[in-house]
């Protein structure tokens, strides 16, 4: 019976931990499995798993067709370092072994029956098998093989490890039918207008007159491309200029196309995605809530089967002692744990009913209300006055004014020095004002710490930001003085050592520019906007993850498709002048999958246009077109719209909340997607919970 009791306690601990993490409770519940389960979800294990995923994704940066060089210009750059065959491969094997362990533990824990229903796990195993096969093939060719499928599959490991990303992907997946309708409508729109354009701008006898035909509508693929690019607005006035020069009325065609396609259909896509996505996000958050309630209920049920509870009671209930035992062992946020303990002590009863039990854990759903530690209390009258003066908001405002003055003075120096040769510049003034302002910032920081006490000072994020910047500025300034001496008129030292003075001064000034941002929280509406943006960044992690997955897959595919398609500018002599900048961008795109991919969502319209026009002299033209149209659709159209949907959702909820709680603006809330929807969420009923519990594949409840 004691062993049984231990098992029940352990089960309850795991169920409560599941509830906290919004995990499913459908896993094995015998003693050994529970140990394995807690071990698997321990911080160390999860950290190792994350590290493995990071490593396998980062491998692309040093693998063979990599180009992690300083310059992107193919003419100047040195050949990138190629690791010897077997180095990256052995790292890959290590990663695969970790993944094999991961998938086996996961499969074992959910049990065979559940395993067959779980498509993500099946896909995981399939991916691993394909990757390992590809790895063996790769080694047997001594790394000389041309196609590596496993590199495209890599982002899957990132995807399958995050439940939030899986949920988001599910939401995106369910909006696909509606998106497909609009994309179909866009396709119909495009094809109708293409036919129309081909009829309108057909070849005429007068060769002078059909400039439009020659450049943009020579044949079907050309016409389609011209109009598709017009849809991205990249070739916007150019495409209509020849026709417009001939007759103004031709512009009606282009206006109609742009208004219908760009203004109506593209924005309709936004509306549809917003509309669909809103519903599904709410739904997924609702299912998270259900998981939490289910976990807590399961914990209650197993605790109520403990032998120590009196059998006489009609209703099942849980002794407070058992719960305390569970709480002490469970891993959870210390604030929540203390709050639950406190309310458990305040509740005088000895036994808890299911409703009371559930209510105790509602603390988990609450926003963390941040309380700042109190200011120190000084005895001296002088110190109290000092504290009042430097703890007053006006002192903060003075700091903002000084920061503004700093910005303006830097600006003035910049404008004055803009056109001067470096040798003509006199850095004395800049050095002097930097010195003065940094001293002021240091003084301000010290006085604030005096007034507020170090703990209270550090509890405000804005102060931490200020303090950190001040310290960095101070160190840089001292380093400058150490190397070049104090500023004096005509102070214009030459480049010295690793980091030149000019670089140093620039660095210091840049940091001061950032300090100016402290003004923002003092403006009411701007503060709202900025907090919305910060919230958005928190909620955006799942999105960003999916974006990384898509970008990575596209980058690897692009490298594979266009390997060798780019030749250094020296080789192509005549066309080089014309397509100079385009080739540069092409270089960015195909050979450099690294940093640049991150910003491509916005670069795309321009780049596609540029690339399509350049690539089409090359035999791989068709492939490039399909690749870039797919890229444009996914990265720009769909992803940007999803982003807008999330932003709209966030902002509108935030705004409504602001209107409700205008008075409570002092309290800082820490909000997540789950909390944003709290007012709208429905609590699951007892029947639903019990039905779900009885369907549990491994847990046999007594009743």
Query: Which is nearer to a second copy, 166 or 492 (by Cβ)?
Result: 492
According to DSSP, the residues that pair with 352 across neighbouring strands are 318
What's phi and psi for 642, nearest 5 deg?
Answer: -60, -40
Interaction mask 196-215, a second copy, x per CB under 8 A: x-xxx-xxxx----------
According to DSSP, the residues that pair with 319 across neighbouring strands are 351
Interaction mask 141-160, a second copy, x per CB under 8 A: --------------------
Cα–Cα separations (whole angstroms), residue 579 to 572, 573, 584, 632:
10, 11, 9, 22
680 lines the binding site for a second copy (CB under 8 A): no
Query: Which is nearer to a second copy, 595 or 630 (by Cβ)?
Result: 595
According to DSSP, the residues that pair with 520 across neighbouring strands are none
Q: What is the largest CA-CA distance in the chain?
A: 103
Candidates 271, 389, 664, 680; binder of a second copy (CB under 8 A) is 271
In the bound complex, what is the minimum distance in angstroms from residue 448's beta carbon to a second copy?
24
In the bound complex, what is the minimum distance in angstroms from residue 592's beta carbon to a second copy?
8
Candidates 94, 126, 192, 626; binder of a second copy (CB under 8 A) is 192
- Structure-derived torsion over alpha carbons of residues 459, 465, 471, 474, reported in degrees to the nearest 10: -150
Taking each helix axis as running N to C, give the angle between helix 621-631 and helix 600-615, from 0 to 180 degrees, rounded to the nearest 10: 160
Quote helix, strand, coil % in the chain, to nearest 5: 75, 0, 25
In the bound complex, what is the minimum distance in angstroms from residue 512's beta carbon to a second copy?
9
Q: Which helix (H) or strand (E) holds 372?
A: none
Distance of CA 515 to the CA centre of its chain: 25
In angstroms, the CA 348 to CA 231 distance is 69
Query: Which is nearer to a second copy, 195 or 667 (by Cβ)?
Result: 195
According to DSSP, the residues that pair with 318 across neighbouring strands are 352
Distance of CA 657 to the CA centre of its chain: 24
In the bound complex, what is the minimum distance in angstroms from residue 164's beta carbon to a second copy?
20
**Binding-site size, a second copy (CB under 8 A):** 107
In the bound complex, what is the minimum distance in angstroms from residue 186's beta carbon to a second copy?
10
Query: Which is nearer to a second copy, 146 or 423 (by Cβ)?
Result: 423
Query: Which is nearer to a second copy, 271 or 630 (by Cβ)?
Result: 271
What's phi and psi for 668, nearest 5 deg?
Answer: -95, 125
In angstroms, the CA 12 to CA 534 distance is 36
Query: Which is nearer to a second copy, 37 or 277 (by Cβ)?
Result: 277
Candidates 337, 643, 669, 693; binder of a second copy (CB under 8 A) is 643
Interaction mask 499-538, a second copy, x per CB under 8 A: ---x---x--xx--x--xx--x--x-xx--xx-xx--x--
In the bound complex, what is the minimum distance in angstroms from residue 648's beta carbon to a second copy?
5
In the bound complex, what is the minimum distance in angstroms from residue 205's beta carbon to a second copy?
5
Query: Which is nearer to a second copy, 206 or 687 (by Cβ)?
Result: 206
Query: Which is nearer to a second copy, 33 or 604 (by Cβ)?
Result: 604
In the bound complex, what is the minimum distance in angstroms from residue 447's beta carbon to a second copy?
26
Query: Which is nearer to a second copy, 40 or 589 (by Cβ)?
Result: 589
Query: Which is nearer to a second copy, 377 or 419 (by Cβ)?
Result: 419
Interaction mask 331-370, a second copy, x per CB under 8 A: ----------------------------------------
In the bound complex, what is the minimum distance in angstroms from residue 581's beta carbon to a second copy?
6
Q: Which of residues 22-81 bind a second copy (CB under 8 A)?
A: 69-73, 76
Candidates 126, 129, 176, 184; binder of a second copy (CB under 8 A) is 184
In the bound complex, what is the minimum distance in angstroms from residue 522's beta carbon to a second copy?
13
In the bound complex, what is the minimum distance in angstroms from residue 155's beta carbon to a second copy?
20
SS3 labels along 374-424: CCCCCCCHHHHHHHHHHHCHHHHHHHHHHHHHHHHHHHHHHHHHCCCCHHH
Q: Which helix (H) or strand (E) holds 319?
A: strand 318-319
Query: Which is nearer to a second copy, 365 or 417 (by Cβ)?
Result: 417
Candidates 185, 332, 681, 701; binder of a second copy (CB under 8 A) is 185
What's phi and psi for 351, nearest 5 deg?
Answer: -115, 145
Q: Which helix (H) or strand (E) holds 352?
A: strand 351-352
In angstroms, the CA 476 to CA 470 distance is 10
In the bound complex, what is the minimum distance in angstroms from residue 161's beta carbon to a second copy?
25
Query: Which is nearer to a second copy, 258 or 309 (by Cβ)?
Result: 258
Q: State the sign of the Cα–Cα–Cα–Cα dihedral 308, 311, 316, 319.
A: negative
In the bound complex, what is the minimum distance in angstroms from residue 239's beta carbon to a second copy?
10
- Opening angle at CA 408, ends 402 and 411, nearest 5: 145
- Structure-derived torsion over alpha carbons of residues 19, 20, 21, 27, reported in degrees to the nearest 10: -30
Candidates 35, 39, 141, 264; binder of a second copy (CB under 8 A) is 264
Q: Which of residues 414-443 bind a second copy (CB under 8 A)?
A: 414-415, 417-423
In angstroms, the CA 561 to CA 95 distance is 26
In angstroms, the CA 553 to CA 662 distance is 46
Q: Which of residues 391-410 bind a second copy (CB under 8 A)?
A: 407, 410
Cα–Cα separations (whole angstroms), residue 462 to 296, 372, 452, 522, 531:
38, 13, 14, 11, 13
Q: Which helix (H) or strand (E) holds 261?
A: none
What's phi and psi for 682, nearest 5 deg?
Answer: -100, 135
Candidates 42, 54, 104, 275; binder of a second copy (CB under 8 A) is 275
In the bound complex, what is the minimum distance in angstroms from residue 507's beta carbon to a second copy?
9
Candidates 195, 313, 446, 472; binder of a second copy (CB under 8 A) is 195
In angstroms, the CA 400 to CA 404 distance is 6
Q: In the chain, what is the straight-line distance between the N-terminal and C-terminal CA atoms, in Å?
A: 18
Query: Which is nearer to a second copy, 46 or 267 (by Cβ)?
Result: 267
Burial degree of 136 (CB within 10 A; 0-12, 13-18, 19+): exposed
Query: Which is nearer to a second copy, 33 or 66 (by Cβ)?
Result: 66
603 lines the binding site for a second copy (CB under 8 A): yes
In the bound complex, what is the minimum distance in angstroms from residue 702's beta carbon to a second copy?
43
In the bound complex, what is the minimum distance in angstroms from residue 204's beta carbon to a second copy?
6
Of 69, 84, 60, the closest CA to residue 148 belongs to: 60
In angstroms, the CA 306 to CA 304 distance is 5
In the bound complex, what is the minimum distance in angstroms from residue 275's beta carbon to a second copy?
5
Which range binds a second copy by CB under 8 A, 163-171, 176-184, 300-308, 379-387? 176-184
290 lines the binding site for a second copy (CB under 8 A): no
Q: Which of residues 224-263 bind a second copy (CB under 8 A)?
A: 233, 236-238, 241, 244-249, 251-252, 254-255, 258-259, 262-263
Q: Which of residues 578-597 bind a second copy (CB under 8 A)?
A: 581, 584-585, 588, 592, 594-596
Write out the DSSP string of 191-258: HHHHHHHHHHT---S-TTT-HHHHHT-SSHHHHHHHHHHHHTTTTHHHHHHHHHHH-GGGHHHHHHHH
Query: Which is nearer to a second copy, 68 or 136 (by Cβ)?
Result: 68
CB 27 within 8 A of CB 109: yes
Helices (H), 500-540: 501-515, 524-539
Which range binds a second copy by CB under 8 A, 47-55, 89-97, 135-143, 651-659? 651-659
């Amino acid at each position: 019976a004691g062993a049984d009791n231990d098992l029940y306690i352990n089960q309850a601990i795991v169920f409560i931990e599941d509830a906290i993490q919004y995990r499913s409770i459908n896993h094995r519940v015998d003693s050994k499995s529970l140990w394995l389960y807690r071990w698997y979800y321990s911080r160390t294990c999860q950290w190792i798993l994350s590290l493995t995923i990071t490593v396998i994704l980062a491998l692309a940066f040093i693998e063979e067709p990599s180009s992690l060089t300083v310059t992107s210009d193919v003419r100047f750059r040195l050949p990138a370092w190629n690791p010897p065959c077997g180095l990256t491969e052995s790292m890959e094997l290590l990663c695969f072994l970790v993944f094999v362990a991961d998938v086996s533990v996961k499969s074992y824990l959910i049990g065979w029956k559940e395993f067959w229903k779980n498509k993500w796990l099946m896909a995981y195993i399939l991916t691993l098998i394909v990757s390992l096969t590809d790895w063996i093939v790769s080694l047997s060719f001594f790394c000389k093989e041309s196609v590596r499928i496993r590199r495209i599959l890599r982002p899957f490991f990132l995807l399958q490890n995050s439940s939030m990303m899986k949920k988001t992907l599910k939401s995106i997946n369910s909006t696909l039918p509606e998106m497909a309708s609009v994309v179909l409508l866009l396709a119909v729109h495009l094809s109708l207008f293409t036919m129309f354009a081909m009829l309108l701008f057909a070849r005429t006898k007068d060769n002078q007159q059909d400039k439009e035909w020659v450049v943009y509508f020579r044949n079907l693929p050309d016409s389609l491309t011209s109009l598709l690019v017009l849809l991205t607005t990249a070739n916007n006035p150019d495409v209509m200029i020849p026709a417009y020069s001939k007759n103004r009325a031709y512009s009606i065609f282009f206006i109609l196309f742009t208004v219908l396609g760009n203004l109506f259909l593209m924005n309709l896509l936004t509306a549809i995605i917003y509309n669909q996505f809103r519903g599904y996000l709410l739904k997924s958050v609702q299912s998270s809530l259900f998981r939490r309630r289910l976990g807590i209920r399961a914990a209650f049920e197993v605790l109520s089967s403990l032998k120590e509870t009196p059998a006489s009671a009609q209703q099942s209930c849980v002794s407070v002692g058992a719960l305390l035992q569970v709480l002490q062992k469970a891993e959870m946020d210390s604030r929540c744990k203390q709050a639950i303990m406190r309310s458990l002590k305040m509740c005088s009863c000895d036994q808890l009913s299911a409703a009371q039990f559930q209510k105790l854990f509602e603390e988990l759903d609450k926003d963390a209300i941040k309380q700042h530690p109190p200011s120190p209390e000084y005895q001296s009258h002088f110190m109290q006055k000092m504290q009042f003066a430097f703890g007053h908001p006006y002192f903060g405002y003075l700091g903002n004014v000084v920061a503004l003055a700093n910005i303006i003075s830097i600006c003035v120096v910049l404008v004055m020095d803009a056109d001067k040769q470096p040798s003509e510049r006199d850095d004395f003034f800049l050095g002097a004002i930097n010195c003065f302002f940094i001293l002021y910032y240091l003084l301000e920081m010290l006085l604030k710490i005096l007034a507020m006490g170090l703990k209270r000072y550090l509890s405000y994020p804005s102060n931490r930001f200020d303090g950190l910047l001040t310290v960095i500025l101070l160190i840089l300034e001292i380093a400058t003085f150490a190397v070049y001496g104090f500023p004096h008129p005509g102070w214009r030292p030459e480049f010295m050592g690793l980091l030149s003075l000019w670089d140093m001064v620039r660095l210091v000034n840049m940091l001061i520019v950032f300090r100016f941002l402290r003004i923002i929280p003092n403006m009411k509406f701007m503060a709202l906007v900025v907090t919305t943006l910060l919230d958005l960044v928190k909620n955006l992690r799942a999105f960003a993850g999916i974006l990384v997955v898509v970008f990575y897959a596209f980058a690897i595919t692009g490298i594979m498709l266009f390997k060798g398609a780019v030749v250094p500018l020296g080789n192509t002599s005549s066309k080089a002048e014309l397509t100079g900048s385009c080739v540069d961008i092409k270089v960015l795109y195909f050979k450099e999958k690294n940093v640049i991919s991150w910003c491509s969502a916005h670069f795309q319209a321009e780049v596609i246009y540029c690339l399509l026009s350049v690539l089409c002299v090359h035999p791989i033209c068709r492939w490039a077109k399909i690749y870039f149209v797919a890229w444009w659709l996914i990265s720009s159209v769909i992803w940007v719209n999803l982003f807008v949907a999330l932003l709209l959702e966030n902002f509108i909820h935030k705004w409504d909340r602001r209107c409700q709680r205008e008075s409570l603006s002092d309290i800082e809330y820490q909000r997540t997607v789950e909390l944003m929807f709290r007012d709208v969420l429905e609590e699951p009923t007892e029947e639903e919970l019990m039905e779900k519990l009885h369907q549990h594949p491994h847990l046999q409840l007594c009743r």
